[in-house]
Amino acid sequence: MGILEKKSMAGRLLLFLLAVSAATADEDVFIGVNIGTDLSDMPHPTQVVALLKAQQIRHVRLYDADRAMLVALANTGIKVMISVPNEQILGIGQSNATAANWVSQNVVAHYPATNITAIAVGSEVLTTLPNAAKILVNALKYIQSALVASNLDRQIKVSTPLSSSIILDSFPPSQAFFNRSLNPVLVPMLSFLQSTGSFLMLNIYPYYDYMQSNGVIPLDYALLKSLPPNKEAIDSNTLLHYANVFDAVVDAAYYAMAFLNFTNVPIIVTESGWPSKGDSNEPDATLENANTYNSNLIRHVLNKTGTPKHPGLAVSTFIYELYNEDTKPGPVSEKNWGLFDANGTPIYILRLTGSGAVLANDTTNQTFCTIKDGADPKMLQAALDWACGPGKVDCSALLQGQPCYEPDDVAAHATYAFDTYYHQMGMTSASCDFNGVATITTTDPSHGSCIFPGSLGKNGSIANITAPSLNSTSVDSSSYDFHSDAFKSILLILGVVLGSAVFL
């Protein structure tokens, strides 16, 4: 464990629904996703955001504060954790002015349109950049001071992701403690987190714990599989039963903090996952195991199971990661922690049926937005005009000579526009109404070469969904041959109804 921005996870198709919680502004537990960028063909920020919205992902962590990405995330409601890259730690930790400038450019310039909720100062600095460790707390304090000066300290938390490898003697958890050589940094850091109401950011990788255990840790215990009581590990001091590595490490961190007299700093897991492919010496890096781990982890977190030490107190977790990173150095597994490939094609379908608030939009439950039987043609035309105009749907596929031009009738064209808008807006029921002429269906309306957003198509890959550009209206309605009589009056109604129906 303990490698910068180390792992990622896989997820097939609408797998991501991890959408986490029932998405309310004050949700208390969530599943998020890390977005690494070591791809030879990194998708455009608007495509990344479209994928997030289609998968109902409402929490993301960036490994930097890329301006284009922050602009694309604006006005989506998606909660964003941005990062101070490791290479900037020394500069920020030695200069209050440098920290203030960083916050001005990367936070103040985007907030509140972009819903920045946390700043991760570096990543696993204590284990990857030991020369920067002594000024890490200064960096945290300087960033915090800049937020205070901008009146943003209550809205945005500051912390730094730590590798769980700094926890020694992690089992039994009740005997765990942090590497004592790090105490000169950890004690003031925990004091800072406690005084600012922030949280301990922890990267937990049961995959590496399992790989490095030389057979001591059973695979099922690492994968969060259900175990009979006689197979669970027992903390001999507390008699608490542990059914998986994840909970044991979380509790070990709580006990390690308590050993330093910090008992009220919450934990958030900033990275966790399982690779879907590995080298010959990594036989357990498989699609099946990645699916099992991530599916079990998402259910475990969102069902608010908690840990043996803190039952019912779920630990919000960011899965590593959104995309497979094909240019990442290292073994094959390093390139295969993603849930999707660069085209937005899921690596595998997460098994999330029955996980409560999670929206398990897999291939057995894929939904589309289509016209209602018997819908009035004039109403359809007005709704089509709205979708391709104010609704900012890219209707270029409906132009003559394009894949979805045929059949050239309002019903077919409206279905394409409705479904595209529905997926752009996160597939909420409110985004598939269009003044009563649309309905949600599980029947894929794709035909011929006209592949609808969300369709698996003939090759099983999800159709690419591109969000409208922030500075364009996509296809102007004037470029499409709309021939409606009742457009203006009905559009006015649609504008009111749909204007309040946007999901994100």
Catalytic residues: 124, 271
- Whether the CB-CB separation of 274 and 207 falls below 8 Å is answered with yes
Q: Cβ(475)–Cβ(79) under 8 Å?
A: no
Kindly state the helix (H) or strand (E) to which residue 96 belongs, with its residue range.
Answer: helix 96-103
Q: How many CA atoms lie within 13 A of 77 on its CB side?
A: 15
The residue ranges of DSSP E strands in 85-134, in sequence order, are: 115-121
DSSP state at residue 182 = G
Give the list of residues 6+ apart from residue 476 with CB closer than 8 angstroms, or none.
Answer: 389
Token pair recorded at residue 26: 């004050």
Q: How far is CA 112 from CA 106, 198, 235, in A?
A: 12, 20, 45
Burial class (CB in 10 A: 0-12, 13-18, 19+), 241: middle
Q: Say if CB 142 and CB 160 are below 8 A apart.
A: no
Query: Which is nearest to 227 in space by CA: 237, 219, 238, 235?
Result: 219
Among candidate residues 351, 334, 330, 383, the one with its CA nearest the CA of residue 492? 383
Distance, in Å, from the CA atom of 120 to the CA atom of 28, rounded to the nearest integer, reads: 19
The alpha-carbon radius of gyration of the chain (Å, integer) is: 24
Q: In the structure encoding, which two tokens stand for residue 197, read together?
A: 């109401």
How far is CA 469 from each of CA 49, 188, 275, 439, 480, rounded to the nearest angstrom? 11, 44, 33, 26, 19
